[in-house]
Structure 1
Amino acid sequence: MWWILAGSLAVLPVQRTLALLLGVISVGWACAAGVVDLRGLIILGIIVLIARVRMHAQGRSRALTLGAEALLLAAGLALFGHLIPGFFNPKILDAVKTGPHSAPFTLYFNFDKALLPFVLLAALPSLLFVKSRFSPRIWQWLLLAASIPLLLLVAVMLGGLRIEPHFPDWLGSFMLANLFFVSFAEEALFRGYLQQRVAGWLGDVPALLIVALVFGLAHLAGGTLLVIFAALSGLIYGLAWMWSGRLWVSTLFHFGLNLCHLLLFTYPFYQSR
């Protein structure tokens, strides 16, 4: 089920019909496995109906188009926040410690959050790809990539992390979940939808800064240091999206930072013994 769901997200930018087919199969499998119950299935059906209204209203009724988009955004935010009933995301890891100075880490496979790119794509057809107005050079991309370990080292200097290499036996599960069910979902919301919409209203740079701040505030439960760290990482992901116009580019930067964090530093943060 999880590999089919991941496959649907992987092909979404290039073959939407196949992605939808795989998505439907994964939802059916999730229902059979008890990950989604009848309540969740009914709400997903309502979301599909709203998506169809949004599609058919395009170019015919601006008010209906905007109304349907707003409802889809609300549904996406509810999926992101695990607020829709009927989803039972399985716990894969329970309070494991990657190293002696790492805080306990719990991993879920979030089926509801993984559906977010489908919902937001229905809300905004240009979610996955827009024509970029920028032409960054190779050295700029290399500098942006180098900012990932640099940011993690800054977190070390601030006391939030320590250098602590790991290679956990659950690395494969982490990579699957983090790439498709975390990084891609979050980038769809913050860069593909929010940054794109705000850029249309206020311009590219204000959108980059505002959405990076919102991304940081979304991590408020982790404390002030995590908010700062997430906001700075949001600038990296936002630049990757802004320069490329492709959601998968910002997703790979997001995943790359998370993977580098896990492999080389205390994860999810430093905790003294």
Structure 2
Amino acid sequence: MNKKEFAAGLVLAVVIAMLVMVGWLPLANAVGLLGVACLAWFFRKEGLHRWIKIGVFLCLVPLVFWVATYRPEGFSYPLALSLPGNTEGAPCFELFVNLSKAIVGFCLLFFLWPRLRSDEFIASPIYSFLAALLAPALIVAIAIPVLELHWQPKPVAQMAAFAMVNLFVIASAEEAFMRLLLQQSLRNAVAKVSAHRWLQELFPLLVVTVIFVAIHAGLSGAAVWVYAVAGFLYGLSYTLSNNILYPIMIHFWVNQLHFSLLSYPL
């Protein structure tokens, strides 16, 4: 472990301890987060034996998902915003700052940020730029009729609060999980058994798109088509660029346009 990693680990441990003490992070999640950091650090090591790497991967994936989604009964993360319902009573939507998910995303970004390999495909930057520019509008345009969304602009303060959580919790963490841990790992695994470029890039993209749909919408209902298009375009932007910032940016703008201008939640 180099000095940079040691310093990051120490800061992470202090932050986690402070969040537990103030009641913003469950103790179980704190322990899981330390496990995620250790496994992610070990997983990124070059020259790791193939079967050991597979074993670490099979432990890391469910642990990341559990830490990001588990919330003990009676516990609530800090509330970022609340949308009132049509009638008096419970709000129609509440957005909490899932600190476990945010820290998981940071750990994956820090430890698994892709190192470009000499044999990896990188498309012309113009294609990545066009994907980032056009994909959010395309996804939202498909979602409006399919999900029967209607015009419902939000106050600027609510847009700003949502943007902060959207960027640092939702988009960054989910794309780090989908692209760096799943798609990139599958791409590397396929590359070891096949020199076929299309198979190396297309197989991970399709598999992770199915996983993205299953996590967000299940595998039935109209929302499947919207999440399938979204997941595919997020993954395609990563395939074209090998840069995690592109899918994060597209994911952010899709969520932000939906929340800011249209009926929300679904």
Contact 1:40 1:84 in 2 (8 A): no
In structure 2, the CA distance between the partners of 1:20 and 1:180, relative to structure 1 (3 Å rule), is farther
CA distance in 2, matches of 1:144, 1:53: 32
State whether residues 134 and 244 of structure 1, in contact with CA within 8 Å, keep that contact through their aligned partners in structure 2: yes
- The Cα offsets for residues 77-132 of structure 1, whole Å up to 9 and x where unpaired, read as 2123326899742333345359xxxx92220110111122355468xx54445455
Q: Point out where structure 2 has 5 or more consecutive residues left out of the alignment.
A: 191-198
Residue 243 (structure 1) aligned to one of 240, 244, 252? 240
User: Structure 1: how far apart are the matches of 2:244 and 2:85?
Assistant: 32
After superposition, the Cα gap between the structure-2 partners of 1:43 and 1:140, relative to the gap in structure 1 and judged at 3 Å, is closer
Letter in 1 for 2:19: A
Q: Match for residue 9 of structure 1?
A: none
Asked if structure 1 preserves the Cα contact closer than 8 Å seen for 2:147 and 2:222, the reply is no
Question: What does residue 34 of structure 1 align with?
Answer: 23
User: Structure 1, residues 41-94: CA drift from partner, whole Å, max 9, x if none?
Assistant: 3444444554565567x5364443432332222211212332689974233334
Identical pairs, percent:
24
Instruction: Give the number of aligned pairs.
Output: 248
What's the TM-score, normalizing by structure 2?
Answer: 0.76
> Could you tell me how far 1:228 is from its partner in structure 2?
1.6
Q: 1:68 maps to what in 2?
A: 56
Instruction: Provide closer, same or farther for how the CA distance between residues 197 and 229 of structure 1 changes in structure 2, counting only shifts above 3 A.
Output: same
Counterpart code for 1:238: G
Q: Secondary structure at the match of 1:92?
A: strand
Partner of 2:70: 82
Q: 1:254 to 1:97 in 2, by over 3 A?
A: farther
Equivalent-residue separation in structure 2 for 1:138 and 1:121 (angstroms): 24
Structure 2 counterpart SS, 1:219 = helix
Pairs within 5 Å for 1:216-255 = 216-220=213-217, 224-255=221-252
Select the residue among 93, 99, 118 that pairs with 2:81: 93
Distance 1:23 1:87, change over 3 A: farther
Q: Which residue of 2 aligns with 1:190?
A: 178
Written as runs of structure 1 = structure 2, the 5 A alignment for 1:37-52 is 37-50=26-39
Gaps of 5+ in 1: 1-14
Classify 1:138/1:222 alpha carbon distance in 2 versus 1 (closer, same or farther; 3 Å): same
- 1: CA distance, partners of 2:28 / 2:131: 47
State the alpha-carbon separation in 2 of the partners of residues 195 and 45 from structure 1: 23
Distance (whole Å) between structure 1 residues aligned to residue 213 and residue 40 of structure 2 = 29
8 Å contact kept, 1:87–1:111 = no
What amino acid is the match of 2:207? Answer: I
Superposition TM-score, scaled by structure 1 size? 0.75
Amino acid at match of 2:217: L
Distance in 1 (alpha carbons) for counterparts of 2:206 and 2:48: 34
- What residue number does 2:211 align with? 214
Q: CA RMSD in A?
A: 3.4
Contact 2:24–2:78 (Cα < 8 Å) also in 1: yes
Contact 1:39 1:86 in 2 (8 A): no
The one of 135, 141, 144 equivalent to 1:147 is: 135
SS class of match (2:148) = coil
Which residue of the partner structure matches residue 24 of structure 1? 13
Query: For the Cα contact (< 8 Å) 2:175–2:248, is it kept in 1?
Result: yes
Q: 1:245 Cα shift? A: 0.9
CA distance in 2, matches of 1:209, 1:216: 11
Native 8 Å contact 1:72 1:119 kept in 2:
no
2:222 match: secondary structure: helix
Q: Give the corresponding residue for 1:3.
A: none
Distance apart, 1:186 and its partner CA: 0.5
How far apart, in 2, do the equivalents of 1:66 and 1:87 lie?
34
